Amino acid sequence: MFQGFYNLASNLIVQNRNMNVISNNMTNISTPGFKSDQLIQGTFRDEILYRYENGSQTPIGKTSQINTANEVVTDYTPNALRETGRTLDFGLNGRGFFAVQSGNGTVYTRNGAFNVDNEGYLILQGIGRVQGQNGPIRVGTDDIRVNEQGYVLSENGANVYGRLQIVDFENYNQLEKAANGTFRADAQPQVVEGAIVKQGYLEDSNVSMVKEMTNMMSGQRALQSSAQLLKMYDQLSGKAVQLGSM
């Protein structure tokens, strides 16, 4: 009976975490460049075999089938670029990330919905200043244009304010999600020389509303079923205690 308690309780924890992941995806469906997450689930038995047998599936006898949440995996698949016509919107065609200096260090993002702060620097709202190859890019109050190589120019092309720093990583597993669709990284990024910047475009998030709604309904059913069964186990346990005391 107690094994049933453990299984149901762990499943409730996993499904709650899964619902949080789904909710975050749906919240950011309109965030430019946002990358969706998925919770990978397993069992306690699978983790025991993996952690203590170094990946070998050597039988070690009967083990628990308690459900666990192994990890949250990010889908880095780029989505289509959508034309906005806004001068300070930028999309990346191909691999790479914009670099932004936040209060906690440099973060990386596919969100190119930039603005200009009171001091004339390009910023990602709520995060920090957009980085060029030689530091933050200051454009003042001038109208700007950006060519496909990422050079930020005055409207007439007479002034060059800098070049957007576009970077990439060999292994995206080195990235950790931060706020507003940004990522932190312990690894050193590599400058992408061949990146194509599209002014007046934004990359849509790769969240599928249909998929997330389906996952949410499935998760809600699993939560309800586990909660009902857990209540039943609790009632049976109470009756067993009463019988044992007679």
What pLDDT is stored for residue 158 in this prediction? 85
CA-based radius of gyration for the chain: 25
The whole-chain average pLDDT of the chain stands at 84
CA 229 to chain centre: 33
* Bigger pLDDT: 51 vs 89: 89
Tens of pLDDT, residue by residue over 221-238, are 776 776 666 666 666 666
pLDDT for 13 equals 79
Predicted model pTM: 0.78
CB atoms within 10 A of CB 17: 15
Token representation of residue 33: 């460049």
Question: Of the candidates 219, 228, 209, which has an alpha carbon nearest to the alpha carbon of residue 20?
Answer: 219
Most confident range (mean pLDDT) of 117-121, 152-156, 210-214, 230-234 is 117-121
Q: What is the widest separation between alpha-carbon atoms in the chain?
A: 94
Q: Give me the mean pLDDT over the 201-216 stretch.
A: 94
Distance CA 107, CA 100 (A): 5
- For residues 19 and 226, what is the distance between their CA atoms, to the nearest angstrom? 14
